[in-house]
Structure 1
């Protein structure tokens, strides 16, 4: 690795080839995989500008790329295919002008036609890059077509394509930099559907993925996946879809956990929307008590509910001090919350 860091790629290659005569793991072309792994690790460790310099260009090839190409065999293995896919996607992430979406799909198509097996992680990595919006926002029809063909290839290889991890990855990628529509005619708010939070309209790609998640007969999503989706929707002000994801568990006959309630209340509190906080408290605080088992008013849940209460009634803290025995809708809810010191911040939406 030291030779690679110092830029002596020829020596690094030579040493590995010589070592393959004595080290079993490096025999049978194993040295190529070892070299590719070291090159990937090195490139990923560099600052953006230095990484771009190492990648060079087609007009001015750099020693790094000569070494990378030299490590590839005539008949690529699964790891070699994964490494080439990784390099292309990583270069796209660096905004290298020569690593384009059509070339990524062409690379995948080359491997598929040659019968090279591509791992599931490599497929997902490529899919995320293809669906990721361009500099102008949105995802083009050609990119969607390429993504569809990749999903077909995964299916042909016996991989389950309609799974939680793939759907969440694709939705996150499609939502990373969407072309927002801010026309007042495209904003939707409803006391039941969005709890009066004004919801922007998703792009067609995002909406299609969202409907697929709602309508497919899939196992219940994990809290982690749902929080990832809700966090993304909150950032983009897709409140209609935010609440759809939160309601996924009840629709499937499953309880919402304390973690989900803490995240939901905390996220709504951060909007500072008074009416929405009032609606959410009136709707979901009682629902917490009906869960099986009931969700307790403690810890992160208590902190998140209190954050909502402070938006619903900005003077509630002072009211508790001045009239601790007073009755009232918000005061009663405040008293139910048992403040627990030292809890982690439950609010992931920033």
Structure 2
């Protein structure tokens, strides 16, 4: 349409105005071309020489000139008429395009930014510049970066005076070929002996690729898939240790190096060690080795700057003394500790004092009646963060203690920064790191507190801090996004309320959807199995339920709680839409994610969809291993209400041996199958006593024999012995 519009307009000025009208919409200014006169008789196409050579102006520019506006000639009409009278018109000579002056390109090629060489560090070794140029130009590796680890104290495991280079290969073959050529170039040019970990030789790579293709072809003909996750070829990571080269070593001041009376072992390292990390793009993003070393450098530089350190805690007192609590008074959370999320407990032996009753009494008087107390009455407050503790290990430190201690160390609320020793040291370290790292660590702290169900840390606080992080244009990683999403969609059901509160509040879901919208604009992949699974579980009931029309006096049947039919249908519609999204986006779930999905469907009594998902596991080519069958039968053995699908469940038993690999009935499976048979057929014992010639009785005897065989070998008690005569 635009081509027909422009060709239909024969007047050059009209065509010019049409182009300006389109361009002005996008915010780009079109520079007007000056002509000799504005009269209609003298209008003619402007010569190309004035446009490119004399004015040197760009046809399209993001900023208008000082005296040019859209559709306005910068020269007044009087000056134009006087100039036309004084100077007679001379026909300007036409200059062809190949004789015109070239205009410098304003934008570089988009691929050029991936091939930029990183700046050299201070006092580089002589080989470094040539090595970077060879890696970029001759080998064709992209996104080169360099980390100077020479000042790292203590030095890394690869050695002191270390310089690490990172490069991205374009594929597995390019990775192996580049590493092989780099080693050959170092041997021939600099007479070095590089060591490449993970490098396959030229013939070895060809042979393994050929064998892999042959196995894939055989598997395709047999209608199966290759299930080996690591074939030794597609690791995507080769570490080339160039070795120690001359020059560039980091030397400390002589007065620090020459210490009187120092006795040690080994020799002083002379020279610089260079290591080249070659990875594919996917492996580099997954491992994030560069980010790990950068954070180590930042923490090490802060520790070696001589900044003021927090005051050390008082030494442990002798037995009989009393530990004095800190001056702050965190919120009373005794009524919420029972709902804390399960955290791995450190079972190492701890030493305490034997004055538990006095301690507990003093803490109650001071408002510390929620402090963690061991069964023997001792109070232990583990030190979570010290002078040498990096901020990145915060999560592991909080998970190494009990929920009681973790909630205590987190203080009163999100604004509390000094009520506990942990918070004092944490925020002191936070003030010395870059702003983006400080914001990310604060988000992680709030996420941990929310997952522990700390009453002083709310989801609105997390959303506010995350919003400040986004507005500051800090980086948002996939891991950070998933942590925020998990925290916002975390929910502990309340079965004691009337009616029971089993569904996530709509306000929490709205906050999570706003976070998803924002990170989607940042380019983070949202259509993946992890995000989909979090949303599906977040929109579902958090306990086994069954629908009823009238909730008044509705009983609890087994472990299932009654919910209103309207709410049940609303949740079912949301789940149906999410399942359609999964099918349309072809989202592939893992075995653990399939188990979570099956449990949610079973808890909602959606048995038809439950068995569709069970069949889908086989249709997508995923082997249904023993753990899936154990989960299937144990799930049905936990509750009843599925008796209408008992034939479908029992038909899964003959299909186990037809799986690839086959699944055989052992003691664990036999016990779960026997419990399911007892629920589906309560008269099974009468049938066994009558010795009926039925398939069900033969299956019961098969389970009994499998259990007895393992009991005889292990010496345990047969769980079916008291019930079978």
What's the TM-score, normalizing by structure 2?
A: 0.37
Aligned counterpart in structure 1 of residue 533 of structure 2, from 168, 172, 175: 168
How do 1:21-170 residues align onto structure 2 when only pairs under 5 Å count? Answer: 23=154, 25=296, 26-29=299-302, 34-37=389-392, 40-54=395-409, 55-57=411-413, 58=415, 61-63=418-420, 64-73=422-431, 75-78=434-437, 80-133=438-491, 136-170=501-535
State the alpha-carbon separation in 1 of the partners of residues 640 and 507 from structure 2. 40
Deviations 1:118-158 (A, max 9, x none): 33222112101212347744334443343234334444444
**Structure 1 stretches lacking a partner, 5+ long:** 1-19, 187-198, 344-350
The answer as to whether partners of 1:133 and 1:176 remain within 8 angstroms in 2 is no
Partner of 2:581: 212
Residue pair 1:131, 1:139 contacting (<8 A) in 2 also? yes
User: Matched residues in 2 for 1:40 and 1:62: separation?
Assistant: 20
Alignment of 1:173-192 (within 5 A): 173-175=538-540, 177=542, 182-184=547-549
Q: Distance in 1 between matches of 2:549 and 2:490?
A: 26
Equivalent residues in 2 for 1:248-327, closer than 5 Å: 248-252=616-620, 254-273=622-641, 275-276=643-644, 278-288=646-656, 291=659, 295-317=663-685, 319-320=687-688, 323=691, 326-327=692-693
Tell me the secondary structure at the aligned position of residue 28 of structure 1: helix
- CA 277–314 in structure 1, closer or farther in 2 if over 3 Å, else same: farther
Unmatched 5+ stretches in structure 2: 1-150, 156-295, 305-386, 495-500, 552-564, 715-725
- 8 Å contact from structure 2 (residues 595, 628) kept in 1: yes
Q: Report the 3-state secondary structure (helix = DSSP H, G, I; strand = E; otherwise coil) of the residue aligned with 2:435.
A: coil
Q: Which has the higher contact order (CA 8 A, sep 6+)?
A: 1
Structure 2 CA distance for partners of 1:315 and 1:209, relative to 1, 3 Å? same
| Match in the other structure for 1:333 | 699
Q: Assess if the C-alpha contact under 8 Å between 2:546 and 2:605 holds in 1.
A: no
What value does the CA root-mean-square deviation take over the aligned residues?
A: 4.0
Aligned residues: 308
SS at match of 1:110: helix
Q: Report SS of the residue matched to 1:182.
A: strand
Residues 180 and 286 of structure 1: is their aligned pair in 2 closer, same or farther, counting only changes over 3 Å? closer
Where is the strand percentage greater, Structure 1 or Structure 2?
A: 2
| Between 225-234 and 101-110, the greater mean CA deviation after superposition | 225-234
- Rate the CA distance shift 1:52–1:30 in 2: closer, same or farther, 3 A: same
Distance 2:407 2:683 in 1: 54
Aligned 8 A contact 1:269 1:277 in 2: no
CA shift in 2, pair 1:322/1:172, >3 Å: same
Partner Cα separation in structure 1 for residue 402 and residue 622 of structure 2: 45
Does the CA contact (< 8 Å) of 1:223 and 1:259 recur in 2?
no
Change (3 A) 1:214 1:308: farther
- Within 2, Cα distance between the matches of 1:310 and 1:181? 22
Deviations 1:146-202 (A, max 9, x none): 32343344444443322222322333444473796732489xxxxxxxxxxxx9657
Equivalent residue for 2:615? 247
- Give distance in 2, aligned partners of 1:96 and 1:274: 38
Superposition deviation, residue 88 in structure 1: 0.8
- Highest Rg: 1 or 2? 2
Task: Measure the CA separation in 1 of the matches of 2:604 and 2:524.
Answer: 31
3-state DSSP of counterpart to 2:457: coil
1:240-265 C-alpha deviation (Å, 9 max, x unpaired): 54334323214435553333233212
Matched residues in 2 for 1:255 and 1:35: separation?
42
Structure 2 CA distance, aligned partners of 1:114 and 1:303? Answer: 57
Q: In the TM superposition, what is the alpha-carbon distance from 1:56 to its structure 2 partner?
A: 2.2
TM-score between both structures, scaled by the size of structure 1: 0.69
User: Quick check: which one's helix share is greater?
Assistant: 1
Q: 1:177 to 1:296 in 2, by over 3 A?
A: closer
